[in-house]
Structure 1
Amino acid sequence: MWTIIIFIFVIIILRDTFQRRASYPPGPLQFPVVGNLLSVWWHLRKLKYHHILWQQWSRKYGPILGLRLGLMNIVVVSGRHMIKEVLSREVFDGRPDGFFYTMRNFGKKIGLVFSEGAFWNKTRRTALQSLKNFGYGSRTMEHYITEECKALVELRLADAGKPIYASHMFDVSIINILWRLVAGKRYDLENEQLKHLCYMITRSFQVVDMSGGVLNFMPFLRHFIPNLIGYTELKNLHGTLYMFLKETIQEHEQTLDSNHPRDVIDTFLIEMSQNKESFTEEELQVICLDFLEAGVETVSNTAGFMLLYLVRDQELQHRLRMEIDAEIGHSRLPALSDRSRMVYTEAVILEALRISSVAAVGIPHMALEDAPLGNYVIPKGTLILLSLYDLHNGSHWKDPAAFLPERFLTKDGNLIQDDWLMPFGSGKRRCIGEGLARSELFLFLTHLLQKFHLKLPKGDPLPTTEPINGITLAAKDFRVIFEPRKIY
């Protein structure tokens, strides 16, 4: 009797597996329990980077690549058409509920980045309105960015001629810009607490890749080998970050005036006091962490890559300085109103966004229901990665490994907005910080090149363009000498 029951059970499982596999996107051979994990591990020994592996497999199996990593279905989507389709359909607007993603959020889908549905809509609406109330997108915002640019220039003037490790040079500056709106506070660029905080954020993004690693695929292993799979380190890093945020929120609570909110945290606290069902303290902490991480791991990494390409190419610097001298001069500081005239500078920024692709697979999406995509069916709960690195460094671009701002310029010198470039996503999940990020990159670039020549220290090799792998990509550390221009 039991033999018959077991036999029928196995037949049902096998039939379901083969039926699902028939409609599931193609990919490498899967094995029981581990799926493609062994293949991923084997290929990464040579390729080093997950986004390069996904790119190679997508070229072999097609623009919709089907994988199973441990207990999780993962689909990697490539190509402008398919990526835009995913970003435009509500059924793919979910966020993954794997252990790696929820462990930073107190085990819940909360905050701005990893929430979905009605809660995400409410959180995004409240956060964006609060930011606008305190100057986001206004002249106040430009003033804050300019202050940080001036402080960074002064710091580089103070150590002019000395080699500076530059890949994380912008971290505190960029946190300061948004943190003045969120928490009403800025920090000195040499503040050790903030520099350590930036290090912890950076480190938390390097422990695993955006797919979540073994913590996602086999989360039960944290009970047996927590140190080996990064669980212990991530838990400690998140604990320290949340301690900082909790102290910041408590400081606000002690001095809160419900009639005169000072910043975004005050706005949320007032909303929470007036409506007990609006937000919890845990949710506010996660929202603040999302703001904190967004600056350090996107804009700062892109700015680091931009600096890297500048120091590798003196002719690129020369052309930028010529445009700065012609359009801004030396008697005043750069302003956002200069952007419309400075097409080469804008092309350099677009090329930096393209070639660095710091969010190599974007922020993961999840299928909320079984849904067709192309000729396949994506099962409910499948994690979807968007191959933005391949989009920005694939066959659409001539000589994609070369830093060529000219690819964004017409023969007449006008700027090209290529719709194959999507560093901030698309659709309703498009990054709300896009305007701020573009403004920051423009002002930091023009302030620095208005004042300095960027040179490699004597004897230092040309900085490598090979990135550090992780949730986002970052430039490997390199040194720069900031040499003041003689006109100053």
Structure 2
Amino acid sequence: MWVFVVGILLFSFFLKTKTSSQASYPPGPRSLPIIGNILSVWSDLKKYKYHHRVWQSWFQVYGNILGLKFGLLKIVIVSGRELIKEVSTREVFDSRPDGFLYTMRSFGKKLGIVFSDGSTWFSTRRVLLKYLKHFGYGTRSMECLITEECRDLIKLRMSDAGTPVLVNQMFHVPITNILWRVVAGKRYSLNDERLIRLCELVTRLFRLSNMSGGVLTIMPFLRYVVPDLIGYNEMKSVHRKLHGFILETIKEHRDSIDINNPRDVIDAFLIEMMDNKTTAITEEELQIVCLDMLEAGMETVTNTAIFMLLHIVRNDEVQKLLQAEIDNVIGLSRSPSLDDRPNMVYTEAMLLETLRISSVASVGIPHMAREDALLGQYLIPKGTYVLLAIHDLHNSSDWEKPELFRPERFIRDGNLVQDERILAFGLGRRRCIGEGLAKSELFMFVTHLLQKFTLKIPQGDPMPSTEPIDGITLSARPFRLVFEPRFK
């Protein structure tokens, strides 16, 4: 018996040794004891300014699978569509990181749908999608909500037409309203000070770290040593305010709920919690689902919309072609509709080009290996964070003159070309559930605005910079526009 056990152990050791000799951790800059690649990243950030550019420079040296170490944390970054597709579609990479940055917003647990995984994620996501669809998400009724926000934004811009407007937060409230109407049944005025402040908090939160987890994930103990220096106190303060807003919203629903007539997603979850206490989600998880909807529904879409305006105003010919198509297909007597999209090839191409060149989610949302796994010729150990180099994919030399904003690259023989290299919303089971809504919002906002206005740079202002502000997502630097009415 003992001989058999020893034999099995020796055979297992042989297999492990053989596997280790055949597959090693991916290459990267020299890793120092204890701190790993922290100094390498810090040094090259001073040179390249942005994390995604650091990774891009290292791909050229070490290949498309880049292996880094930060203390005990392993991070692998993959580049190229095929590798990104492989990571996105393999179940072994379906998990989400459990680092401090990702769980501090959710009571130290994996909750919600963005940073959770496993059976809990699958169940919560399924139920959320059921309730969203029940209250109109993904149906024609969403167009009415989008149109209402577009019309209110047009009125606001008409009220200050001809004067310079700082536009970076212009879409925050309208875009939040669209999804929040379905989730919480409430719409806010575009001038609502509280919601404006909450949106500003979300923006600030997204600039305090990066998708690798930052210092708080690499060295979480520093929150006890230098909490202000690493942004911990500010993050904690922002999360407390966001949770306060959500808790207040849930309480308002609980106090006025009619169990026979749910009004929105929050009502539906609360009723399920009453009816099925053993299987329904907890109140903590409901808070994080709402937080996911509030943050994800606002931040990436608004950043993309601002980059869209930035590139339009930087390219006069693009703006003229967009307005010509709007005038030809829609005209001036009616408002734009989603039914117009198939007939507006240039506008759709412009939206694809905006998604490509801005790539606001520069490395996507991190994956994590749930078990040891082979990727290419390398071993990705269990627990390794895997980032997807989306910005590099969208702005690499595979594209002709990738630095230029050219919607024409998505048009061939007068038809729209859906290039498979555009992965702004991910792939596989983790593909963003808000893709359809985001594209609809971008289309409706740009057509409504350019039907009524010509965008101009204020006299004396510099040309808006295409250099982004780094963070969890990329955002545009502050700039002003003049909305000049096209017809009086």
TM over 0.5: yes
Letter of the 1:350 partner, please give it: L
- Structure 2 Cα separation of the partners of residues 346 and 121 of structure 1: 32
SS at match of 2:138: coil
Does 1:179 pair with 2:183?
Answer: no
Alignment correspondent of 1:118: 119
Deviations 1:173-196 (A, max 9, x none): 000000000000000001110110
Partners of 2:356 and 2:460 in 1: how far apart? 30
* Partner residue in 2 for 1:348: 350
Contact 1:202-1:296 within 8 A present in 2 as well: no
Match for residue 372 of structure 2?
370
Per the alignment, do residues 21 and 151 of structure 1 end up closer, same or farther by CA in structure 2, a change over 3 Å counting? Answer: farther
Partner of 1:72: 73
Give the residue type in structure 2 aligned to 1:296. Answer: M
Contact 2:23–2:374 (8 Å) recurs in 1: no
Query: Is 1:247 aligned to 2:228, yes or no?
Result: no
Give unmatched runs, 5+ long, in structure 1.
1-14
Q: CA deviation at 1:137?
A: 1.3
Structure 1 distance, partners of 2:125, 2:486, is 44
Question: Against the structure 1 CA distance between its residues 198 and 174, is the aligned structure 2 distance closer, same or farther, given a 3 Å change threshold?
Answer: same
Would you say the 8 A contact 1:253–1:269 is kept in 2? yes
How many Å separate the matches in 1 of 2:267 and 2:167?
Answer: 35
The one of 300, 304, 307 equivalent to 2:306 is: 304
- Matching of residues 197-236 of structure 1 within 5 Å: 197-236=198-237
Cα deviation for residue 126 of structure 1 reads 0.8
Amino acid at match of 2:408: E
For residues 224-265 of structure 1, the C-alpha deviation after alignment (integer angstroms, 9 at most, x for no partner) is 111111111101110110000000000000001111000000
Q: Classify the secondary structure of the residue corresponding to 2:297.
A: helix
Aligned to 2:411: 409
Aligned residues: 472
Identify the match of residue 327 of structure 2 among 302, 325, 329: 325
- The one-letter code sitting in structure 1 at the alignment partner of 2:242 is L
Distance in 2 separating the partners of 1:21 and 1:253 = 58
Q: Residues 36, 299 of structure 1: CA spacing in aligned structure 2 closer, same or farther, 3 A cutoff?
A: same
Residues 23 and 379 in structure 2, CA contact (< 8 A), matched pair in contact too:
no
**Matched residue, 2:395:** 393
Q: Which residue of 1 aligns with 2:362?
A: 360
Contact 2:336–2:444 (CA under 8 A) maintained in structure 1: yes
Name the structure 2 match of 1:419. Answer: 420
Question: Are the counterparts in 2 of residues 457 and 479 from structure 1 also a CA contact under 8 Å?
Answer: yes
TM-score of the superposed pair, with normalisation by structure 2: 0.95
1:242 aligns to what SS in structure 2? helix
Cα displacement (A) at 1:20? 8.6
Return the match for 2:289 from 287, 290, 299: 287
How many Å separate the matches in 2 of 1:45 and 1:21? 36
The alignment status of 1:452 with 2:446, answered yes or no, reads no
Higher mean displacement: 241-250 or 269-278: 269-278
Structure 2: distance between partners of 1:188 and 1:105: 29
- Asked if structure 2 preserves the Cα contact closer than 8 Å seen for 1:167 and 1:305, the reply is no
**SS of aligned partner of 1:127:** helix
> Contact 2:132–2:183 (CA<8 Å) still a contact in 1?
yes
Distance 2:237 2:55 in 1: 30
Task: Give yes or no for the alignment of 1:339 onto 2:341.
Answer: yes
Q: Match of 1:10?
A: none
Give the equivalent residue in structure 2 for 1:11: none
* Helix, strand or coil at the partner of 1:400: coil
User: Matches of residues 271-282 of structure 1 in structure 2 within 5 Å?
Assistant: 271-277=272-278, 278-282=280-284
Going from structure 1 to structure 2, the CA distance change for 1:255 and 1:406 (only over 3 Å counts) comes to same
Offset, 1:428: 1.0
The answer to whether the Cα contact below 8 Å between 2:369 and 2:382 also exists between their aligned partners in 1 is yes
Deviation at 1:315, TM superposition (A): 1.2
> What is the TM-score of this pair, normalised by structure 1?
0.95
Q: Deviations over 1:184-235 (max 9, x none)?
A: 0000001110110000000000001111111011111111111111111101
- 2:13 corresponding residue in structure 1: none
- SS of 1:104 mapped into structure 2: helix
How many Å apart are 1:21 and its aligned residue?
11
- Whether the 8 Å contact between 1:71 and 1:218 is mirrored in structure 2 is no
Q: Distance in 2 between matches of 1:295 and 1:398?
A: 32
Corresponding position of 1:12 = none
For 1:6, the equivalent position in structure 2 comes to none
The CA deviation at 1:325 is 0.3
Which AA in structure 1 matches 2:58?
W
Shift of the 82–123 alpha-carbon distance from structure 1 to 2, 3 Å rule, reads same
Give the equivalent residue in structure 1 for 2:257: 256
Structure 1 Cα separation of the partners of residues 247 and 470 of structure 2: 30
Helix, strand or coil at the partner of 1:66: strand
1:471 counterpart letter in structure 2: I
The alpha-carbon deviation at position 45 of structure 1 amounts to: 1.1
SS of the residue 2:77 aligns to = strand
Secondary structure, aligned partner of 1:205: helix
The residue aligned with 2:11 is none
